[in-house]
Amino acid sequence: MAASIFKEYIGNRDREVFAVIGVDTGNEPTFLNIVSIGQLGEVRANMRELFQSVILSSSALIIIGHNHPGGSMKPSEEDPVITEKIKKVGKMLGISLLDHIIVSTADTMSIREKRPDLFG
């Protein structure tokens, strides 16, 4: 479900977009927020901006996602780093990270499926 939401809202952007979906304790989405819009090949995720909307919506869980305008589903070297950072900040706040999804106009990829060690 989250992959299709990200694909619909940010998959066809011409620049990288980083977004978050908040999820309640019943596994229902509570919001979708675009955290930042970057350059053609990169985007920065500010922890303050990301978690502000999560806290205000009282979400218990989050799914993060960003697009790859070029269409490649290969995670960048930075993708696992930002995933780990968000997981650690979320843990301090009592908010669990469910997945990090990469999307393009044609495809989606779950970092959790490719790198389950990041979510253990």
Instruction: Please tell me the distance from the alpha carbon of residue 27 to that of residue 10, in angstroms, as a whole number.
Output: 22
- Quote the pLDDT of residue 42: 58
pTM of the model: 0.93
Domain count, the chain: 1
Distances (CA, A) of 119 to 10, 20, 85: 24, 17, 11
Task: Report which of residues 42 and 64 the model is more confident about.
Answer: 64
Q: Provide the pLDDT confidence category of residue 43 given band limits of 50, 70 and 90.
A: low
pLDDT digits (tens, 9 = 90+) for 55-108: 999 999 999 999 999 889 999 999 999 999 999 999 999 999 999 999 999 999
Q: Which domain does 86 fall in, by range? A: 2-111
Q: For residue 59, what is the domain's CATH number?
A: 3.40.140.10
Give the span between the Cα atoms of 67 and 72, in whole angstroms.
9
